[in-house]
Chains A and B, each alone.
Chain A
Amino acid sequence: MERFAFLTFDGLANGAVYSAFALALVLIWRAARIVNFAQGAMAVAAAYAAYAVTSATGSYWLGFAAALAGGMALGVLVERGVMRFTSHSAPLNQVIVALGLVLTIQAGLGMLYGNEFRPVGTPFSRDAIDVGGVPLLSQYDVFVFAAVLTIVLLLALLFTKTSTGLRMRAAAFAPEVSRLLGVNVGGMLTLGWALAAGAGAVAAMLVIPTELGLHPHAMDLVFVTSFTAAVIGGLDSPPGAVVGGLLLGLVLSYVSGYLGSSVTPIAAFAALLAVLLARPQGLFAASKARQA
């Protein structure tokens, strides 16, 4: 029982960071209808900016701000510099460009910072609070939960309550019609990329301290897990990303704890398949489109 409780809290803590990054993936999907395979690499680049600032100033929060700003700037750069010029009628082209960006960014970071791991600090203690012999969540985990919650709320506000959110979605779904309706489609795309990249950067800041450390490939595995989480939840749904992330975190923790850590990818696949076979558009899918 103690083991179960322990694994549950471990799973929730991990799940929260997956949720954070899954939210960034959901955001870009809603804003541009693409699965941004470069999101992980872009977020790592932002985390390096944070690393540079924190090393120079000694302040975690200045670094955090730098990651946010750097991430958003990179998002704008990628959209204005590259994505804007890819063919929108062929969605796979955008995927390939994103993969090209991954290679370029990772190689660039490798050239700038080398391949070794860099430590990334946390603003709060990661020591688990011990309750009755079971180590529960740490202050840092609580911070992560709060951050994820904040992002979800902001996203919900943006998309349901503001006209900018409506414009962003319209621009993503039907660029030409949106322009006819007076929506600045280019601007919306840029904004979407900036926000998504900013969210991704924040997620990276949350995730990387719980992983091996800062490294050009630091987000590779996180990307895969978070993408899986986002798909489980339904790519269109921010709450889905959170639920998907937590669910996946729990499954992986239990499987790792009871069956062995090598089984986790198989478990992730099984969990994903189980959800998708029951709900092909994820747990929080919107209503099914009418066919004819």
Chain B
Amino acid sequence: MILQLEGLTAGYGAAPVLRDIHLEVPQGSIVTVLGPNGAGKTTLLRTIAGLLKPTTGRILFDGDDLRGVRVEHLVRRGLALVPEGRGVITELTVEENLRLGGLWRKDSAATMSEVYELFEPLARRNKSMGHQLSGGERQMLAIGRALMARPRLLLLDEPSLGLAPKVTAQIMSLLRQLRDNDGLSVLLVEQNARSALSIADAAVAMSLGRLAETSSGDMRAAYLGS
């Protein structure tokens, strides 16, 4: 298990947004979280990434309790988050954003050319400021930047947002490929249930801050009605 959540409760004020969450992400698997708006999916990812302190419960990453671990240390341990709404640093150039993603890595130059190969609009615009990019280009940049860290666990919050269908498909196949070849684990939050479920090893449904685990087959049935 690369990630285990045990009885996680968290929120922004008095009323908790996440209630008693138990979840496991096995090493080298893709787990997707589906659920209606406001269910708490974004909150779940932010809590795992350390941006929000859980009120109760534990987060185990590689078996280590993450309590007390500073956010900025997580990425070096192999945990990366692509935040909802992109989080591109718009005052930096494309290349600077990417560099920032893997500053401490020796092989970052190689990774960068891989990212450029994958998202060829970024390569074209590598000297542009983040704020000049189109919506989809920003999303590519945010994902590419997370890949720069070569994480072992990737938390993706609606990665398909604003991307052309072709690019979404590319990303999904990339995730599958990284899982198969490099043992990458992914916790994927998506509204685009079809593409998410197409690569997921497991799926959980979330509503009103609670998880209801089901097999991805059931989910497929529930969400896609097939």
Contact = CB atoms under 8 A, between A and B. Distances in A.
Contacts of A167: 100, 103
A177 interface: yes
Interface of A: 163, 166-167, 169-170, 173-174, 176-185, 286-287, 289-290
Given A182-B73, A287-B132, A289-B131, A177 B103 contact: no
Contacts of A181: 75, 100-101, 103, 145, 149
Interface stretch (B11-19, B59-67, B84-92, B195-203): B84-92
A180 B49 contact: yes
A178 B51 contact: no
A165 to B, nearest CB: 10
A290 B71 CA distance: 31
Contact of B91 (A169, A185, A290): A169
Contact of A177 (B73, B89, B96): B89
Contact of A287 (B72, B74, B99, B129): B129
Contacts of A169: 91-92, 96
A292 to B, nearest CB: 10
A180 B91 contact: no
Interface residues of B, number: 28
Given A287-B129, A290-B131, A177 B75 contact: no
A287 B125 CA distance: 15
B74 to A, nearest CB: 8
Contacts of A289: 90, 129, 131
B81 interface: yes
Given A182-B149, A287-B132, A289-B131, A177 B83 contact: yes
A181 B146 CA distance: 8
A166 B99 contact: yes
A286 B127 CA distance: 13
Contact of B87 (A166, A174, A182, A286): A174
B71 A170 contact: no
Contacts of B103: 163, 166-167, 181-183
B72 A183 contact: yes
B21 interface: no
Contacts of B81: 180
A184 B89 CA distance: 16
Interface of B: 49, 51, 70-76, 80-81, 83, 87, 89-92, 96, 99-101, 103-104, 129, 131-132, 145, 149
Nearest to A172: B91
Interface core residue of B70, B72, B92, B101 (most chain A CB under 10 Å) = B72
Given A289-B129, A290-B132, 8 more contacts: A166-B103, A169-B91, A173-B90, A176-B87, A179-B71, A180-B71, A180-B74, A182-B74
Contact of A180 (B75, B90, B92, B104): B75
B155 to A, nearest CB: 10
Contacts of B87: 174, 176-177, 180
B89 A178 contact: yes
A183 B100 contact: yes
Contacts of A166: 92, 96, 99-100, 103
11 contacts: A166-B103, A167-B103, A170-B89, A170-B96, A173-B90, A180-B51, A181-B101, A181-B103, A182-B149, A286-B91, A289-B129
A161 to B, nearest CB: 12
B159 to A, nearest CB: 15
A180 B146 CA distance: 9
A182 B89 contact: no
A174 B89 CA distance: 6
Nearest to B142: A177
- Give the 4 A-B CB pairs with smallest separation, nearest first: A182-B75, A179-B71, A177-B87, A289-B131
Contacts of A286: 91, 129
Contacts of A182: 72-76, 103-104, 149
Nearest to B134: A290
A34 B161 CA distance: 33
A201 B125 CA distance: 40
A24 to B, nearest CB: 21
A266 B80 CA distance: 54
B91 A173 contact: yes
A159 B70 CA distance: 26
Contacts of B104: 182
Contacts of A287: 129, 132
B107 to A, nearest CB: 15
A282 B149 CA distance: 37
Nearest to A184: B72
Contacts of A163: 99, 103
